[in-house]
């Protein structure tokens, strides 16, 4: 430490943490985060937990409370082995998109790690959750915890009433279809999970009040008029095509009982809640990583943390943003932390010290001066796909030495389509962005038809991009779940999106009828 810095004493020395220090350091981080970086956050709640509790939280997709299901136990069992054997470290933090924003920190961490985690999660992620348009549109930070506790209780009540196996069967099927349980486009009404919970209660009470066994005895009309005679009319009535499979089943599956529909709804809400996170991995982690780097960097400059602590920060930081190259055995895809952080730094550079190339590519903000304003704007208004498409600069493409390879199964070899040169920038940027487009990365499945007056066969279509069909075994297993829920045969046709040619067809009948058709159900 030089003599000029002596005026400010570091907030702490050494590795030990205690609650007083946490408070002091939190206050310092808050000061830098809010004043220097201009972050806008939900109130914070920091919870100190043990590594065992972290494992718990880890395996229930990071949520503090969740209904019971074997799949969480499975993840726990696996994580536990990896962790105990030292094959994998635990995440240092888990942060929950809720209001207040809850961050978990582990008691085993050093004081510096706690500071890093607070800056990363309680400020970086928190700001992102609060400001990104997808989260604003799709998630209800105020209601999520209440909704989860409702869901947990609802599931356990169902288990008591209908048995573990019956509930498990529905949840298994719902989980298999979870990724196809989101509305991709916002509807008019904002999501309010608390209201949702209340409404469920009302629905149930209403049903119970209205139930009258007498109706069962009313003789049916002999010649029932079927409105579903013509295909287009039928499809319109059912709101087809529908890509939210869980939603469709919940509303239309003929044999499900109301509690089974409610379970589907719970899984669907959960899926919807995580949908923005799936679309913003690079940005979210990039934002959080950039924030902790900046905040702690500033604190170090001001002498609030020691050189030793700063080195520890750098050590963890570089581990997190490590990006092996494609021919490295450690390569496992592009690290969202690495790409995100690199892009954030690049934006900062372009905003403050642009080159002629940057000015040409980013006339809107090159040399803008206020890097934080540019970044905050990007964090608020983009998702991974559009963010890469908009902000990936030639300079960064060169730095990461990105190249684009096409693998056509019909060709004997793969072809390098573009590399990091003048001709390749746009091409690389486009295809990298597409990798993050969830609509493109995930199979595009829709329910296209159902024969309600006939054999009730459900028809789905997979629009196969570039002739890549679904993994057959898994697809059949999921279709099996789907058929079980639907109660009748299900057909999946795989159609080449370019030519419209049919590539494959799967047909699966129901195995066990989940919604044991009971009278009046």
Site for another protein in 178-237 (CB under 8 A): 178-180
Interaction residues for another protein, span 280-319 (CB under 8 A): none
Q: Is 88 among the residues that bind another protein (CB under 8 A)?
A: no
Beta-bridged to residue 506, according to DSSP, are 492
Torsion sign (Cα): 60, 125, 81, 339: positive
Output 26 or 365, the one with its CB closest to another protein: 26
71 near another protein, judged by CB under 8 A: yes
Segment 466 to 495, residues that bind another protein, using CB under 8 A: 466-475, 477-478, 481
Q: Which is nearer to another protein, 191 or 490 (CB)?
A: 490
User: Is residue 73 near another protein by the rule CB under 8 A?
Assistant: yes
Asked if 388 contacts 433 with a C-beta cutoff of 8 angstroms, the reply is yes
Q: Count of residues binding another protein (CB under 8 A)?
A: 98
Among 40, 70, 163, 319, binds another protein (CB under 8 A): 70
> Among 31, 36, 62, 80, which residue interacts with another protein (rule: CB under 8 A)?
80
Residue 432 φ/ψ, nearest 5 degrees: -65, -40
Q: How far apart are CA 205 and CA 132, in angstroms?
A: 37
Check residue 325 for interaction with another protein (CB under 8 A).
yes
Q: Select from 406, 453, 507, 516 the one that contacts another protein (CB under 8 A).
A: 406
Nearer to another protein, 66 or 191 (CB): 66
Residue 125 as a binder of another protein (CB under 8 A): the answer is no
Buried b (16+ CB within 10 A) or exposed e, 104-129: bbbeebebbbbbbbbbbbbbbbbbbb
Q: Identify whether the C-beta of residue 262 lies closer than 8 Å to the C-beta of residue 176.
A: no
Beta-carbon contacts of residue 421 (< 8 Å; ≥ 6 apart): none
In the complex with another protein, the residue whose CB is nearer, 70 or 211, is 70
**Distance between CA atoms of residues 122 and 115, nearest Å:** 10
Measuring CA to CA, how many Å separate 324 from each of 194, 272, 320, 346, 385? 44, 32, 12, 19, 22
> Scanning residues 333 to 352, which ones bind another protein (CB under 8 A)?
333-334
| Residue 52 lies near another protein (rule: CB under 8 A) | yes
Minimum CB separation from another protein for residue 332, in Å?
Answer: 4
Query: What are the structure tokens assigned to 153, written together?
Result: 């209780």
The reply on whether position 275 binds another protein by CB under 8 A is no
Of the residues 10, 31, 36, 72, which one makes contact with another protein according to CB under 8 A: 72
Cα 228 from Cα 231, distance rounded (Å): 7
Sheet holding 458-464, edge to edge: 444-450, 458-464, 490-496, 502-508
| Given 462, 487, 490, 514, the residue binding another protein (CB under 8 A) | 462
CA angle at residue 135 from 105 to 289, to 5 degrees? 45
CA 444-448-454 angle, to 5 degrees, is: 150
Establish if 163 lies at the interface with another protein (CB under 8 A). Answer: no
Cβ 96 vs Cβ 135: under 8 Å: no
- Residue pair 494/502 in contact by the 8 Å Cβ criterion: yes
Q: How far is the CB of 163 from another protein (least distance, A)?
A: 13
Residue number with CB closer to another protein (5 or 442)? 442
Closer residue to another protein (CB): 343 or 371: 343
Note if the bond before 162 is cis, omega within 30 degrees.
Answer: no
DSSP three-state, residue 96: strand
Which residue from 149, 323, 381, 390 is in contact with another protein, where contact means CB under 8 A?
323
- Which residues 345-384 are close enough to bind another protein by CB under 8 A? none
Number of residues assigned to the chain? 521
Six token digits for residue 109: 């961490």
363/368 Cα distance (integer angstroms): 9
Does position 117 bind another protein by CB under 8 A?
no
Does 115 help bind another protein (rule: CB under 8 A)? no
* 243 touches another protein (CB under 8 A): no
Output 19 or 185, the one with its CB closest to another protein: 19
Where does this chain touch another protein (CB under 8 A) — which range of 5-13, 275-283, 343-351, 413-421? Answer: 413-421
**Which run of H or E residues covers position 103?**
strand 101-106
The answer to whether residue 16 forms part of the interface with another protein (CB under 8 A) is no
Q: In terms of Cα–Cα distance, which of 400, 397, 431 is closest to 325?
A: 400
47 binds another protein (CB under 8 A): yes
Minimum distance, C-beta of residue 475 to another protein, in the bound complex (Å)? 6
83, containing H or E segment:
helix 70-84
- Chosen residue from 1, 81, 353, 439 binding another protein by CB under 8 A: 81
Q: Which of residues 420-449 bind another protein (CB under 8 A)?
A: 420-421, 423-424, 428, 431-432, 434-435, 442-443, 445
- Candidate list 1, 164, 311, 501; residue touching another protein; CB under 8 A: 164
């Amino acid at each position: 430490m030089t003599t000029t810095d002596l005026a400010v004493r570091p907030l702490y020395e050494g590795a030990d943490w205690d609650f007083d220090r946490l408070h002091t350091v939190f206050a310092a981080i808050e000061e830098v985060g809010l004043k220097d970086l201009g972050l806008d956050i939900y109130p914070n709640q920091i919870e100190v937990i043990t590594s065992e509790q972290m494992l718990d939280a880890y395996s229930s997709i990071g949520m503090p409370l969740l209904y019971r299901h074997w799949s969480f136990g499975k993840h726990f069992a696996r994580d536990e082995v990896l962790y105990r054997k030292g094959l994998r470290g635990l995440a240092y933090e888990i942060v929950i998109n809720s209001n207040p924003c809850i961050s978990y920190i582990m008691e085993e961490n050093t004081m510096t790690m706690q500071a890093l985690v607070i800056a990363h999660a309680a400020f970086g992620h928190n700001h992102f959750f609060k400001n990104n348009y997808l989260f604003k549109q799709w998630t209800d930070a105020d209601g999520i915890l209440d909704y989860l506790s409702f869901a947990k209780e609802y599931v356990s009540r169902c288990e008591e009433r209908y048995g573990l196996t019956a509930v498990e069967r529905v949840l298994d099927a719902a989980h298999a279809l979870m990724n196809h349980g989101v509305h991709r486009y916002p509807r008019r009404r904002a999501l309010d999970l608390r209201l949702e919970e209340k409404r469920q209660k009302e629905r149930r009470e209403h049903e119970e009040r209205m139930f009258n066994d007498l109706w069962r005895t009313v003789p049916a009309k002999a010649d029932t008029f079927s409105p579903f005679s013509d295909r287009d009319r039928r499809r319109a009535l059912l709101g087809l095509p529908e890509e939210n499979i869980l939603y469709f089943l919940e509303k239309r599956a003929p044999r499900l009982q109301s509690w089974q529909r409610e379970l589907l709804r719970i899984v669907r809400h959960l899926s919807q809640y995580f949908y923005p996170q799936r679309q913003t991995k690079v940005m979210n982690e990039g934002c959080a990583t950039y924030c902790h780097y900046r905040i702690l960097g500033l604190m170090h400059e001001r002498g609030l943390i020691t050189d030793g602590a700063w080195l520890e920060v750098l050590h963890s930081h570089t581990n997190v943003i490590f990006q092996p190259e494609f021919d490295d055995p450690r390569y496992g895809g592009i690290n969202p932390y690495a790409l995100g952080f690199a892009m954030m730094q690049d934006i900062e550079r372009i905003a403050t010290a642009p080159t002629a190339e940057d000015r040409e590519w980013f006339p809107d903000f090159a040399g803008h001066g206020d890097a934080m304003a540019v970044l905050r704007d990007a964090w608020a208004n983009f998702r991974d796909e559009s963010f890469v498409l908009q902000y990936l600069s030639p300079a960064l493409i060169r730095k990461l030495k990105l190249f684009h390879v096409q693998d056509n199964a019909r060709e004997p070899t793969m072809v390098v389509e573009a590399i990091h040169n003048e001709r390749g920038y746009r091409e690389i940027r486009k295809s990298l962005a597409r990798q993050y487009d969830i609509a493109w990365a995930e199979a595009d499945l829709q329910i296209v038809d159902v024969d309600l007056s006939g054999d009730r066969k459900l028809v789905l279509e997979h629009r196969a991009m570039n002739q890549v069909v679904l993994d057959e075994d898994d697809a059949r297993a999921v279709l099996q779940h789907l058929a079980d829920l639907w109660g009748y045969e299900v057909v999946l046709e795989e159609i080449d999106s370019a030519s419209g040619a049919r590539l494959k067809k799967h047909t699966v009948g129901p195995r066990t009828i989940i919604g044991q058709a009971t009278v009046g159900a």
